[in-house]
Amino acid sequence: MSRTERVPGVRELDHTADVGIEVRAGSREELFHRAGRGLLSLVREVGETDSGAEPDAERRISLEAADAAELLVRWLRELLHLYESESEEYVAAEFEALEDGHLVARVRTCPVQGVAVREVKGVTYHDLDVREAGGEWRARVIFDV
Amino acid sequence: MSTRASTRSSDRRDEPSWFGELEFRRIDDYRWLIPRQGRMNVDGLLYADERLMADIRGDEAARQVANVACLPGIVGRSIGMPDMHWGYGFAIGGVAAFDPARGGVVSPGGVGYDINCGVRLLRTGIRARDLRPALPRIMNQIQRDVPAGVGSEVRDFRLDDAELEDVMLRGAAWAVDRGYGTADDLESIESGGALAGAAPDEVSARAKSRGRRQLGTVGSGNHFVELGFVDQVFDPGTASRLGLEPDTVTIMIHSGSRGLGHQVCTDFLDVMLEATRRYGIELPDRQLACAPLDSPEAERYLGAMSAAANFAFANRQMMAHRVREAFARVLERPWTDLGMDLVYDVAHNNAKWEEHEIEGSPQRLCVHRKGATRAFPPGHPDLGARFAEVGQPVLIPGDMGRYSYVVAGTEEAYRETFGSTCHGAGRKMSRRKAKRSVRGRDLRREFADRGIEVRAASFATVAEEVPEAYKDVADVVDVVDRAGIGRKVVRLRPLGVLKG
């Protein structure tokens, strides 16, 4: 039996044709991290008895964007690329720099776990939102499936 | 330390917009005008009856048609088909044409992520009732021979760089040269199965690595291989000329350019965002990011898009041939004996250079169709002799349980919609809701009881694709037929479905 992983602070959005997530976190770093895990939870299911694998591969990712929302889209596209082309799934990141238009992170991955249930064609700008209000960070992203 | 606050996308309904509350004007039972208002450069034109219009008014899609009308160099009207619903920037079910001489643009959002997602139809000389005893075995063999499912990949051949480049340059012709089908097939494919001007060098390494292993596969989501039969004939003359005799078995394939196309779209959305800024183009929605048609960015995108489109043509050509071979193997007869000819193959996501009349004189335009299908009339030079009399066949899939249609292109469509028509049924229920609604049900058994053999890489996907999740394609096709922008030829019902 398998389940869709519940990532803390991530809610799956109900869209007619596509799928999306709404993410909440206490910091920008945690927002980006949770969004990455959230994307993963849409793409594959893990077994009930699966506690995850050791992230033994590391790489440095460096991205630029016009603003925080675009940066989130680019971040997620990188993680999607790792999943699809290299069969590596995102586990965690250490952010050396994370501002509105700039990201540098050491990303740790492990081989993809679980069963792929959904093909994400792209990370879209539709209804895209990244904001901070009263110390809480929030994001909304829709994916084309 | 956290800095400033939010970044909002500009396509929310409560944002200050480029026109106020949208004004509509009914033209007739099947046409509604969005008269030029606010910063629209042209009118919008929606094809819908009263009932569909009620849905459309409440949806973002009508506003998206109006947004597209604001783009530079758009000519004629910004069009929405009866199956329209909101998409990224452009609505799905949208058609828009741009004139390079008037600063017209090209926009990847007007094509979609799945470049040349399209449909192919084969006919056969086999009657449905004669096929039924062998149907389960044929479906099994198709499932073996045509990889389907999330991330589906081929196992039995490898494409090196040179071959992949050839695929992107020559499309379906590449597949024919490798033994998948015959040269005769190419006459029954839109654009002969390859768009000119393909530029494989503009396709990124990422896109190539995604596509290399996926050529010859169906993919997932709403893609499928479906066996059906001709269950209703509306235009006997045309049906007969297309080889669609009553009760004969048909094969429909719905698939696109797989990961290669998706990555091309993703890559160029970024290029176009940059181009929009560079060329000082103001947009009501950043997902309409575009570049002037005479710019290097536009040329690069169209080159990459054509390469991806050709990949999709090759993909469908390969899969169709594998289905022919599956039939031959199970029925122990050559596929040629079974009359398994290609009826037609259409694209419903792309941007093409076409000549159309604007204010009485022919202009070379870049026509974007996203979730809309080319539907050229009888006698159009691009169709060739085979379709000179009947016009271009248009293949319109419905959901997996009900029916699909074949429609033919008309003169009226050529005059009004740049020779375009609808593409299929749209969703009406979210995937989550669809899955919840079928919990505990044995879907395979339910379909089997209705005479439909289902094979799937994942029944979770089948759950998302159940008929209840879709609008009724008959309503969409009726509007198109009554509005004169498509002529109903036959209706097809499913016998067997392979889903990813």
Could you report the per-residue pLDDT of B68-97, keeping only the tens digit for each?
A: 999 999 999 999 999 998 888 999 999 999
Average pLDDT of chain B to the nearest whole number: 93
**Distances, alpha carbon B104 to alpha carbons B109, B285, B292, in Å:** 15, 17, 6
pLDDT the model gives residue B9: 37
DSSP string, A59-71: EEEEEE-SSHHHH
Q: Of B499, B495, B498, B500, which Cα lies nearest the Cα of B124?
A: B495
Which range, of B15-24, B179-188, B196-205, averages the lowest pLDDT? B15-24
Q: Which residues contact B49 (CB under 8 A, 6 or more apart)?
A: B29, B30, B82, B475, B478, B479, B482
Q: ipTM of the predicted structure?
A: 0.88
Q: Which value, in Å, is the radius of gyration of the alpha carbons in chain B?
A: 22
What one-letter code names the amino acid at A80? L
Does the pLDDT value for residue B140 go beyond 90?
Answer: yes
B209 CB burial (10 A radius; 0-12, 13-18, 19+): middle
**Distances, alpha carbon A45 to alpha carbons A6, A114, B499, in Å:** 10, 5, 19
What is the distance between the alpha carbons of residues A90 and A88, in angstroms, rounded to a whole number?
Answer: 7
Give the one of B9, B428, B433 whose C-beta lies nearest to A125's C-beta.
B9
CB contact under 8 A, B150 and A67: no
What is the distance between the alpha carbons of residues B370 and B224, in angstroms, rounded to a whole number?
Answer: 19
B423 labelled catalytic: yes
Q: Measure B206 CA to nearest chain A CA, in Å.
A: 8
User: B241-250, pLDDT tens digit by residue?
Assistant: 999 999 999 9
3-22 in chain A: CB under 8 A from chain B: 12, 14-17, 19
pLDDT the model gives residue B246: 98
3-state secondary structure of A46: strand
DSSP string, B105-173: EE-GGGT-SSTT-EEEEEEEEEEHHHHGGGHHHHHHHHHHHS--STT---SS----HHHHHHHHHHTHH
CB contact under 8 A, B206 and A85: yes
CB contact under 8 A, A121 and B113: yes
Q: Which residues contact B234 (CB under 8 A, 6 or more apart)?
A: B488, B489, B490, B491
User: B298-345, pLDDT tens digit by residue?
Assistant: 999 999 999 999 999 999 999 999 999 999 999 999 999 999 999 999
The pair of three-digit structure tokens given for residue B13, joined into one six-digit string? 């309904």
Instruction: Indicate left, alpha or beta for B19 from its phi (over 0: left) and psi (-120 to 50: alpha).
Output: beta
User: B258-276, pLDDT tens digit by residue?
Assistant: 999 999 999 999 999 999 9
What is the distance between the alpha carbons of residues B257 and B265, in angstroms, rounded to a whole number?
Answer: 11
pLDDT the model gives residue B5: 32
3-state secondary structure of B153: coil
pLDDT the model gives residue B157: 77
Average pLDDT over residues B480-496: 98
What is the distance between the alpha carbons of residues B66 and B19, in angstroms, rounded to a whole number?
Answer: 8
State which of A45-49, A72-76, B5-9 shows the largest mean pLDDT.
A72-76
Q: Measure B427 CA to nearest chain A CA, in Å.
A: 6
3-state SS, B29-48, equals CCEEEECCCCCCCCCEEEEC
Which range, of A52-66, B123-137, B223-237, B477-491, averages the lowest pLDDT? A52-66
Give me the phi and psi of B470, to 5 degrees please: -115, 155
Q: Is A132 on the interface with B (CB under 8 A)?
A: yes
Specify which residues B366 forms β-bridges with: B98, B353
pLDDT the model gives residue B1: 32
Q: Return the DSSP state at B225.
A: E
Query: Residue A2: which pLDDT band, with cuts at 50, 70 and 90?
Result: very low
User: B273-289, pLDDT tens digit by residue?
Assistant: 999 999 999 999 989 99
Buried b (16+ CB within 10 A) or exposed e, B189-203: bbbbbbbeebbbebb
Does the pLDDT value for residue B477 go beyond 70?
Answer: yes
> In A, which residues are within 8 Å of B429 by CB distance?
16
What is the distance between the alpha carbons of residues B406 and B394, in angstroms, rounded to a whole number?
Answer: 6
Q: Of B348, B491, B314, which Cα lies nearest the Cα of B423?
A: B348
Full-model pTM: 0.94
pLDDT the model gives residue B460: 87
Its sign, for the CA torsion B235, B239, B245, B246, is negative
pLDDT the model gives residue A85: 86
Q: Of B282, B288, B256, which Cα lies nearest the Cα of B269?
A: B288
pLDDT the model gives residue B383: 95
Does the pLDDT value for residue B404 go beyond 90?
Answer: yes
Query: Residue A5: which pLDDT band, with cuts at 50, 70 and 90?
Result: low
Does the pLDDT value for residue B33 go beyond 90?
Answer: yes
pLDDT the model gives residue A47: 59
Does the pLDDT value for residue B4 go beyond 60?
Answer: no
User: B445-454, pLDDT tens digit by residue?
Assistant: 999 999 999 9
Query: Residue B6: which pLDDT band, with cuts at 50, 70 and 90?
Result: very low
Average pLDDT over residues A25-44: 95
Its sign, for the CA torsion A39, A40, A46, A52, is negative
Q: Measure A1 CA to nearest chain B CA, in Å.
A: 13
pLDDT the model gives residue A52: 67
CB contact under 8 A, A129 and B8: yes
**CB pairs A-B closer than 8 Å:** 105
Closest residue, chain A, to B11 (C-alpha): A127
Average pLDDT over residues B58-75: 93
Q: Is A24 on the interface with B (CB under 8 A)?
A: no
User: A53-65, pLDDT tens digit by residue?
Assistant: 788 999 999 999 9
CB contact under 8 A, B221 and A28: no
Whether the CB-CB separation of B38 and B18 falls below 8 Å is answered with yes
> In A, which residues are within 8 Å of B6 by CB distance?
68, 129-133
Its sign, for the CA torsion B347, B348, B350, B356, is positive
Does the pLDDT value for residue B8 go beyond 60?
Answer: no
> In B, which residues are within 8 Å of A67 by CB distance?
7
Its sign, for the CA torsion B97, B253, A18, A98, is negative
What is the distance between the alpha carbons of residues A140 and A104, in angstroms, rounded to a whole number?
Answer: 21
Query: Residue A49: which pLDDT band, with cuts at 50, 70 and 90?
Result: low
What is the distance between the alpha carbons of residues B98 and B106, in angstroms, rounded to a whole number?
Answer: 8
Q: Which value, in Å, is the radius of gyration of the alpha carbons in chain A?
A: 14
User: A71-95, pLDDT tens digit by residue?
Assistant: 999 999 999 999 988 889 999 999 9
CB contact under 8 A, B265 and A133: no
CB contact under 8 A, A125 and B113: no
Does the pLDDT value for residue B13 go beyond 80?
Answer: no
Given the residues B223, B262, B348, B423, the one annotated as active site: B423
CB contact under 8 A, A99 and B3: yes
> In A, which residues are within 8 Å of B209 by CB distance?
85
What one-letter code names the amino acid at A32? F
What is the distance between the alpha carbons of residues B229 and B129, in angstroms, rounded to a whole number?
Answer: 10
Give the one of B5, B11, B220 whose C-beta lies nearest to A131's C-beta.
B5
Q: Measure B432 CA to nearest chain A CA, in Å.
A: 6
- More confident: A92 or B58: A92
User: B347-391, pLDDT tens digit by residue?
Assistant: 999 999 999 999 899 999 999 999 999 999 999 999 989 999 999
